[in-house]
Amino acid sequence: MKITGALLILMIVVSCGVNDRRKAEEIINRFEQNSIHDKRETVFNAEASFMKGQVVLKGETDNPELIEQLIDSLQPMKVQNEITLLPDSSVGDKPFALVTLSAANLRAEPRHSSELVTQALLGTPVEVLKKQDNWYLVQTPDRYISWVDGSGIFPVTEQELNNWQQSDKMIFTGSFAQIFETWQMEQPVGDVTMGGILMLQERRWNYLKFAFPDGREGYTPIGNWVHYLEFIEKAGPDSTSVVEGAQNLKGRPYLWGGTSSVAMDCSGFTKMVYFMNGVILARDASLQARHGEAIDPGNDYVNLQPGDLLFFGQEKDENQPEKITHVAISLGNTEYIHAAGMVEQNSFNPESELFSEYRKNTFIRARRIVGSEGKEGIRWIKEHTWY
């Protein structure tokens, strides 16, 4: 078969395009491995095609610096950037939202049948990244990214968020309370759990009147509420406050993805305890294991102090990587408390009736949170710009 000059040129161009696309895909894969620490906390999806002599990048991210770094890594290829920067146009002029339920359920995908990955408490500010039907992709203050149904949040402008930040608010320190339509406590309009935040409208000797982020108003008994500014200024973890907070949750049921005081998973439990001490921890156990001061537990765990986080899972060997699957709070030395089936206490001591051989065999490391406040993954609530 005779190949004309024009056809030969076309074949060369197509071949070069395929090679450039493949090279670009390899670079993108390496870039993700080296630059994207965790997609639970960062949106980054990119793919390459080849059109008119250049690589065309498509996808989405919430970090403009990643786009610049990726384009630089593709040099000297000609690159056309079509990666969408989040928040995208579906968000409009309301790039933030406030949680309107006692515990909004956040899921891996935008559907109710999808895995529950986390929760956000009443009054929590979140960043809205995009909208799909009545679902919103949001990032919570601990940087976790997931989908929430529109009924769980109230989108706001930056000015409206600022107004909420400057308002007179209170935080709930009890386990559970209802908010009612009348001061006689008739007809509930909502509920609140530990850590929930509402805007104070009126205070009387026997009741408080609050406004929800979505405009609902209601009344509740006065007990277990603390002024928000007083709370964030005075709150701070120490061995006593962390242990007391953890033990006060004993017997609460385990819930995969749960972070409220009603039901929680292992890392949701540690988050709740530290949140009520003024600190925002990373969401999952494997994320929490990256932060804080590394502690050598010592022989017979003598170096462990109350409040240290203990991490369990699968150690790295020649056949498998390390995998952190569980976290607990140390009560000092061999004793610890964690959410596993329910919030309960266990021990590393074989002589104790609370001994767990399984946990002893799967213990990997410990990290100290007290003293590391304000660092990556251990943020003060009072220093978080969204609050």
Pick from 174, 124, 384, 380: nearest CA to 277: 380
Pick from 71, 87, 167, 165: nearest CA to 130: 87
Token pair 């000092």 in the structure block, residue: 332
Q: Distance of CA 215 to CAs 76, 161, 210, 218, 343, Å?
A: 54, 14, 10, 10, 35
Q: 5-85 and 167-233 share one CATH topology?
A: no
Query: Cα–Cα distance between 177 and 193 in angstroms, integer?
Result: 7
Query: Cα–Cα distance between 233 and 235 in angstroms, integer?
Result: 6
CA angle 194, 200, 201 (to 5 degrees): 150
- Residue 104 pairs in a beta bridge with 120
Query: Cα–Cα distance between 148 and 119 in angstroms, integer?
Result: 9
Query: Cα–Cα distance between 62 and 87 in angstroms, integer?
Result: 7
Pick from 158, 156, 163, 149: nearest CA to 101: 149
- Sorted by sequence, the CB contacts under 8 Å of residue 129 that are 6+ apart come out as 43, 62, 86, 87, 88, 91, 136, 137, 138, 139, 145
Asked if 183 and 202 count as a contact pair (C-beta separation under 8 A), the reply is: no
State residue 3's pLDDT score. Answer: 54
What global pTM score does this model have? 0.92
Asked if 122 and 261 count as a contact pair (C-beta separation under 8 A), the reply is: no
Walking along the chain (387 residues) 10 residues at a time, the average pLDDT comes out as: 47 52 90 92 93 90 96 92 96 98 98 98 98 97 98 98 97 97 97 98 97 98 97 96 98 98 98 98 98 96 98 91 96 98 98 98 98 96 97
CATH number for the domain whose boundaries are 5-85: 3.30.70
Q: Which class in CATH covers the domain with range 167-233?
A: mainly beta
Quick count: other Cβ atoms within 10 Å of Cβ 318?
4
Helix (H) or strand (E) run with residue 358 in it: helix 357-362
State residue 15's pLDDT score. Answer: 47
Query: Cα–Cα distance between 153 and 145 in angstroms, integer?
Result: 15
- Sorted by sequence, the CB contacts under 8 Å of residue 55 that are 6+ apart come out as 20, 21, 24, 48, 49, 74, 77, 78, 79, 80
User: Domains of the chain: which residue ranges?
Assistant: 5-85, 90-164, 167-233, 235-383
Residue 11: exposure state from Cβ atoms within 10 A (0-12, 13-18, ≥19): exposed
- Residue 340 pairs in a beta bridge with 342
Structure tokens at 78: 């000609």
User: Given 3.30.930.10, 3.10.20.740, 3.90.1720.10, 3.30.70.940, which CATH number is that of 235-383?
Assistant: 3.90.1720.10
Q: Fill in the DSSP letter of residue 57.
A: E
Buried b (16+ CB within 10 A) or exposed e, 139-160: bbbbbbbbbbbeebbbbbeeeb
Asked if 309 and 328 count as a contact pair (C-beta separation under 8 A), the reply is: yes
Provide the CATH topology of domain 90-164.
SH3 type barrels. (2.30.30)
